[in-house]
Amino acid sequence: MAIPKKLHNLFWDYDAAKLDWRADHDLIVSRIIASGGWESVSWLIKHATPGELRRFFLRRQGRGVDPRRLRFWELVLGLPHEQVDSWMRAKAKDPWHRRRAK
């Protein structure tokens, strides 16, 4: 399954027309989670199961997701609050994250 044209701007550094849901799943999910607006998030929720998205977050431990978005997904997916807190504490210790957060 190809991603819709309305989401192609999120994949500016790829040939978005060639991206495939099965082959490029992690890339598509991570880009939408990290940078997508409501339209792309709605598309993602329709095409990925909550369990699939939960596993994605747990596997990546919230990496690449800013704190506000991470809290949103915690609520939407029912991610364990204590685990999300620990991911956020780890981000706070990361010098790159602190630099960007100012």
pLDDT in tens, 60-77: 998 888 889 999 999 999
Residues of the chain with pLDDT under 50: 101-102
Closest CA to 57 of 38, 23, 22, 81: 81
Domain boundary pick from 48, 69, 87: 48
Shared domain for 36 and 65, answered yes or no, is: no
Shared domain for 40 and 82, answered yes or no, is: no
Shared domain for 59 and 28, answered yes or no, is: no
> What pLDDT is attached to residue 59?
94
Shared domain for 1 and 43, answered yes or no, is: yes
Q: What is the Cα–Cα distance from 102 to 95, expressed in whole angstroms?
A: 11
pTM of the model: 0.81
Q: What is the Cα–Cα distance from 64 to 52, expressed in whole angstroms?
A: 17
